[in-house]
Chains A and B, each alone.
Chain A
């Protein structure tokens, strides 16, 4: 029973290793990775149901009891994130089948796709700080390779910056791990929670907390540490950018949520205020970048940043309703952003450019594409009854209840600008006179839309079904706001 926990971790890593042997055979790679992905999706759903019904599942790797061994802990939050990750990755993989050229896929695209997923899923599951570092590295090394995959000049330049900044962040992460081990004598999350409560979170532990904010802020694209993100996410092929925008940076945010609920939860006046200020600046500066940009993909990349600001805002308000909203927001954003990046890829295939000013009138030749984009864009901007509205509503409500009026005003203003820049894409790319020639108008993209359509349907579904989903995320919020649940399920009574 407890070995069910392993599925989201072992399926991608074992199949990734198997795929190495088939690197020269494109067809075999596609078949194996397709089957693997579906197995992973089914595994994640099973695990999600098991956790939703029975509560937290814990597994001690190698039969070493915590706090000495490394546990894998799946509470409702982790199960939810694993489910979102599996859904987004499935869609992206099937999109990649049709967009990654055979020349590229020979150079280990599919193995590293699965190793990246291993790192992401492992980060969600682990109950140990150093193990989190290891999974971060698994994820980052795969992401360096995927980001540079294809070796265009632009990609190599941006990957180098991404590599350096992340290496620096990893170094700080390791230093933080060393500090916290010196201060508390443990690295197990649950045990850390107990020790930090005993020691009292002041002086040195607050310094360590800030160090972790910096580390995860760099990985999660928060102000003022997001500068690497926009250009790094516009370089790689769309399928990879979609996965990065939808999933990769969420891991940094997830790590913040985990650390600052289980471990550093005793001084929210200080830590969560820092996070709230960062969130406000992230929102506003991210969206301003999007408003100023005229490149399809880079608009989306800048929007990623401002949306991370929303998620952090919800978390740092630190009331049940706001956290429930933030978790709903993570799901909503992963789905919508992945879909939008895929639309960017499809549109680029039709028009041959990603410069907004050189496009136009795509709606006349490809109406389905345009309308599906419109639904998704409106969801991102937060128009009811789509998911985006129900993601922002609890954040605003929670903010008002706690009296954080400034950040609520910022959030609403940013929502307006998001709508503006989505309308900008709609206006330049899809409306007006067609600027692409007859031949390009005949390009069929129906097959590409098959992998995006489920995501669009999903954003509509979780919009109309917001009530049960929000109820579930509220359960998650209640669970993570009471760290004793996590601690007792790992350490026992």
Chain B
């Protein structure tokens, strides 16, 4: 790593503080859009990784580790578990594994709303992809 990143670039830091959350919001939007439109757990997860990565680029690693004390390997584990256990819902009612269930509900404020088990499955992917992308990039970055 060159010395360049260690200089206190005010503009960069202030823009990052805003942008990181904008990217995070976009990742959540993409995640929910994925059910019927382009998007989904995979892209959303990559976006999530990007937003956290931007923080890593701007502030140094030690600071982020203090701010976000998380073990990204656990994200992968949690993601796999959420996805696979969602699949088991079908087996409880005697349908094959991974069968999807959905229904329409009328919620206050949102109006008619579709709730499906596929979103839960996708959330597992979201976590898993985000976690593994972060692990890979951080491992390579550490290696210098």
**A residues with CB within 8 A of B:** 2-3, 6, 10, 13-14, 16-21, 23, 59-63, 108, 111
Contacts and interface: CB of A to CB of B under 8 A. Distances in A.
A16 B73 CA distance: 12
Contacts of A18: 77, 81
Contacts of B73: 20, 23, 108
B97 A6 contact: yes
B74 A20 contact: yes
Contact of A14 (B85, B90, B91, B100): B85
B80 A2 contact: no
B98 interface: yes
Nearest to B94: A3
The dominant DSSP class at the B interface is helix
B100 A62 contact: yes
Contacts of B98: 61-62
12 contacts: A3-B91, A17-B77, A17-B80, A17-B84, A19-B77, A20-B73, A20-B76, A59-B97, A62-B90, A63-B95, A63-B96, A63-B99
B60 to A, nearest CB: 25
A60 B98 CA distance: 9
Given A62-B97, A62-B100, 12 more contacts: A3-B91, A3-B97, A6-B91, A13-B84, A14-B84, A17-B81, A18-B77, A21-B77, A23-B73, A59-B97, A60-B96, A62-B98
Contacts of B74: 20-21
Interface in B86-121: 88, 90-91, 95-100
Instruction: Name the 9 nearest CB pairs between A and B, nearest first.
Output: A20-B77, A17-B80, A62-B98, A63-B99, A17-B77, A3-B91, A17-B81, A61-B98, A63-B96
The dominant DSSP class at the A interface is helix
A404 to B, nearest CB: 44
Nearest to B76: A20
Contacts of A20: 73-74, 76-77
Nearest to A69: B96
Contacts of B90: 62-63
A266 to B, nearest CB: 32
Contacts of B100: 62
Contacts of B80: 13-14, 16-17
Contacts of B99: 62-63
Nearest to A20: B77
B77 A61 contact: no
Given A20-B74, A20-B77, A3 B96 contact: yes
Nearest to B128: A17
A59 B99 CA distance: 11
